[in-house]
Amino acid sequence: DTAVSQTPKYLVTQMGNDKSIKCEQNLGHDTMYWYKQDSKKFLKIMFSYNNKELIINETVPNRFSPKSPDKAHLNLHINSLELGDSAVYFCASSQGDRGAQHFGDGTRLSIL
Amino acid sequence: AQKVTQAQTEISVVEKEDVTLDCVYETLDTTYYLFWYKQPPSGELVFLIRRNSFDEQNEISGRYSWNFQKSTSSFNFTITASQVVDSAVYFCALWCYNTDKLIFGTGTRLQVFP
């Protein structure tokens, strides 16, 4: 019954690898997001999609590529992982861009 | 430019004390929304409240209350009779029509001791 679920919860990998994080929401929302939370707990938006269309693309390296196969899913693929990519990544969804955003539990990515 | 300031980095209280978390925002938009989120030690982000810029009425939900004052650009959050389970990082956030995205403050870590 989880509203916004993301997998995996933990991801430990080597520098240079490629990895993906999946996100699914069952709230019927039309907008989904990816956020990055750094070690100081600062939360910053990376991407947002509305009905599978990219709306926001912050200044994120192009090694990060979101993909939305349908409005209930927004996956994040990261190529050539770097040490600085270590963070917690949160997926969120909302109804419209100003609706209350509901977050997944986060994926803690650690680069060795 | 849009900005959210949570000047209190960390607050410690003893159980049953009341505590207020401050949030000051900046925006030139007349249409905006303000939010509070809770991040407990387990790490998830929990939505607490959304308030639009045209509704200055204060809100109470159980032990939680919010005071929105446009005159001082503040949206403060008070927990009455705090409990250990209230220990968390609390984030204030701002959504503006102009930027079309949610901007978070740096968070306030609240520790409630028994």
Q: Tell me if B43 and A43 make a contact (CB, 8 A cut-off).
A: no
A105 chain-B contacts, CB cut-off 8 A: 43-44
A56 chain-B contacts, CB cut-off 8 A: 100-101
Query: What distances in angstroms separate CA B70 from CA B85, B108, B112, one per listed residue?
Result: 31, 21, 30
Strands B32-39 and A4-7 come out as: unpaired
Q: What is the pLDDT of residue B67?
A: 96
Q: pLDDT tens across B18-27, in order?
A: 999 999 999 9
B83 to chain A, closest Cα gap in Å: 23
Q: What is the pLDDT of residue A1?
A: 65
Q: What is the pLDDT of residue A52?
A: 85
Token pair in block for residue B7: 């000047």
> Is B34's pLDDT higher than 70?
yes
Query: Which of B35, B97, B100 shows the shortest C-beta gap to A100?
Result: B35
Mean pLDDT of B96-100: 81
**Residues facing A61 on adjacent strands:** none
B23 to chain A, closest Cα gap in Å: 15
Q: What is the pLDDT of residue A58?
A: 86
Amino acid at position B10, single letter: E
The pLDDT mean for chain A works out to: 93
- Give all strands (DSSP E) within chain B, no chain letters: 3-5, 10-14, 19-21, 24-26, 32-39, 46-52, 59-61, 64-69, 74-79, 88-96, 102-104, 108-113
B102 chain-A contacts, CB cut-off 8 A: 33, 45, 101
Q: Tell me if B45 and A100 make a contact (CB, 8 A cut-off).
A: no
Q: Tell me if A97 and B100 make a contact (CB, 8 A cut-off).
A: yes
Q: Tell me if B44 and A103 make a contact (CB, 8 A cut-off).
A: yes
Q: Other CB atoms closer than 10 Å to residue A71's CB: what's the count?
A: 18
Q: Tell me if B39 and A102 make a contact (CB, 8 A cut-off).
A: no
Q: pLDDT tens across B37-92, in order?
A: 999 999 999 999 999 999 888 888 999 999 999 999 999 999 999 999 999 999 99
Of A32, A41, A90, A110, which to mutate for an interface test with B (greatest number of B Cβ within 10 Å)?
Answer: A41
A42 chain-B contacts, CB cut-off 8 A: 104, 106-107
Q: What is the pLDDT of residue A27?
A: 94
Q: What is the pLDDT of residue A31?
A: 93
Return the SS3 of B52.
Answer: strand
C-alpha–C-alpha distance, residues A104 and A97, integer Å: 17
pLDDT band per the 50, 70, 90 thresholds, residue B108: very high
Q: pLDDT tens across A28-75, in order?
A: 999 999 999 999 999 999 999 998 888 888 878 999 999 999 999 999
